[in-house]
Amino acid sequence: DIQMTQSPSTLSASIGDRVTITCRASQSISNYLAWYQQKPGTAPKLLIYKASNLKSGVPSRFSGSGSGTEFTLTISSLQPDDFATYYCQRYNSYSLTFGGGTTVEIK
Amino acid sequence: QVQLVQSGAEVKKPGASVKVSCKASGYTFTNYYLHWVRQAPGQGLEWLGLIDPSSVSTSYAQKLQARITMSRDTSTSTVYMELSSLQSEDTAVYFCARFKWELGGFDSWGQGTLVTVSS
């Protein structure tokens, strides 16, 4: 099974900060990677698909990059609504794996 | 609009089985794979498996293959996830989610079903 490793597991930041979260795959996954935001008590929300494509309706301060085994999610200027947990997710036609998650906390 | 509505919370004893349903509406049921994902209290997301409603083919997470079964009823646009031999570690919120290949991700989720395993 392909493993997904996210770092850091927790991140403390202030409003307006630039935030970067990394996700590494144990083997190449091309660009088959998505990013989600989850807030307590709710289902995850898709932000980025195919590594770098912003889902319609998601603020442009979110961006994704990478291919192969290393990927990043960047929030260009952290807003109050962005304090949440973020997950990466890889997929193919018969399996799927989530990263362990990164919680963005208020500094 | 797309909706996935799950069955209600369950409390089960260790060793029992649980069957959770997920009723889809607002789209053509057989056009999209449906997946199951769970989240233990305070933990991350864990993928459980998928079902293709058009062919009834399934694929399960390796660690659960012996205990999990997914099925569907096209007449009611409902998918089911049954987990047997429950242990306390299976206590979690279970989500169904629609996978959209064009996005490579889940664009719609059920509201979640809390399954509690306790003696």
Tens of pLDDT, residues A5-62: 999 999 999 999 999 999 999 999 999 999 999 999 999 999 999 999 999 999 999 9
Report pLDDT for A93.
84
| pLDDT of B8 | 98
Whether B36 shows a pLDDT value over 90: the answer reads yes
* B6-15: average pLDDT: 98
User: What number of other Cβ atoms are within 10 A of residue B64's Cβ?
Assistant: 18
**Inter-residue contact B49 to B64 (CB < 8 Å):** yes
Beta-carbon separation of B44 and A36 below 8 A: no
Task: Strands of chain B (E only): list them.
Answer: 3-6, 10-12, 18-25, 34-39, 45-51, 58-60, 68-73, 78-83, 92-100, 105-109, 113-117
Assess A36–B contact: CB distance below 8 Å, yes or no. Answer: yes
Which residue in B71, B65, B69 sits closest to B52, CA to CA?
A: B71
Average pLDDT over residues B49-73: 96
Task: Give the model confidence (pLDDT) of B93-114 as tens digits.
Answer: 999 999 999 889 999 999 999 9
pLDDT band at A1 (very low <50, low <70, confident <90, very high): confident
- Please tell me the predicted confidence (pLDDT) of residue B46: 98
Q: Is A5 on the interface with B (CB under 8 A)?
A: no
Beta bridge partners of B8: none
User: Which of B33, B39, B45 is the mutation pick for testing A, counting most A CBs within 10 A?
Assistant: B45
CB contact under 8 A, B99 and A100: no
Q: What average pLDDT score do residues B52-63 get?
A: 95
Pairing of strands B10-12, B113-117: parallel
Q: C-alpha angle with apex A19: A7 to B107, nearest 5 degrees?
A: 75
Q: Is the separation of the CB atoms in B116 and B94 below 8 Å?
A: no
Name chain B contacts of A43, Cβ cutoff 8 Å: 95, 97, 109-112
pLDDT number for residue A6: 98
pLDDT value, residue B84:
98
What is the C-alpha end-to-end distance of chain A, expressed in Å?
Answer: 36
Are B103 and B93 within 8 A, CB to CB? no
Chain A residues in contact with B92 (beta carbon < 8 A): none
Mean model confidence pLDDT for chain B: 97
CA–CA separation, B81 and B83 (whole Å) = 7
Mean pLDDT of B73-93: 98
